[in-house]
Every structure is written in C-alpha cells, then in structure tokens.
Amino acid sequence: MQYRCPKCQSAKLLPVTQPGQTTARPVVPKSLVFLIPAILILLLLVSISIAMWAFGNGAGETLQLATIVMFFACVIAGFLFYRDLPDFKLSMQAFMQSQKRWKCRDCNHEWES
Ligand SMILES: [Zn+2]
C-alpha cells in the first residue's frame, strides 16, 4: 500500500473509482461536517470585528455576540469531533485499504496498489 506517488513522491493522491465497483467511502462524522463551516464562519466574524476595530467604530454588539456564540459552537463541534476521531481514523484506514487504484494530482500518474 502506497500513500505516495511512486513516480514523483507526491502525497496529493486521488482515489480512482472503477465503473461498476462500489468502494467503501470513509464515513465522515457529522461533527466534522459541522466543525468546518463553523470555523470558517468564526474566522469571517473575527476578521470583520478586527476590520471594524481598525476603522475606529469598534465591533457592534450583535457582531460581538455572534462571534462569541460561534466561538462556543466551534468549541462544542471541536469536542464532538475529537470524540469521533478514533472512528473516523478507522473508517479512513479501511477506505485507504479497500482503494486499489490511485491517481497522482501532480504528475497524473496512475497505479494500482
Ligand atoms: Zn506523481
């Protein structure tokens, strides 16, 4: 099993799905689905707050409240994801092992493991 391209050693691999073959997809935990947008929204709110402070007026109360709420949402989602992590790792490993054909995103080399 190789997680690197045998040609250029790149780690940017794409699984190639063969027609007619149902490969086991890794089970993405719901907490991760929630965590990623939550972090993105938090980053957006924080950068808006910083921009508003930089321009003198300070962040509005609604914005501050939203930022705090999103921060706690991120903490909760992060904690849930931390609990899901062992299962997620196992399902990722099972997926990597069941996947036979790979394609390299750097040099387009295809191979079977
Ligand atoms: Zn390659």
Burial class, 68, CB count within 10 angstroms (exposed 0-12 / middle 13-18 / buried 19+): exposed
Give the pTM: 0.68
Distance CA 7, CA 20 (A): 28
Distance between Cα 92 and ligand 1 center (Å) = 22
Given pLDDT bands bounded at 50, 70 and 90, which one contains residue 21?
Answer: low
Beta bridge pairs of residue 101: 112
pLDDT, residue 100, reads: 85
What pLDDT does 113 receive? Answer: 77
DSSP state of 46: H
- Cα of 16 vs centre of ligand 1, distance in Å, is 14
Nearest CA-CA partner of 88 in 38, 80, 21: 80
Environment of ion ligand 1 (residues, CB < 5 A): 5, 7-8, 10, 104, 106-107, 109
Q: What is the pLDDT of residue 60?
A: 81
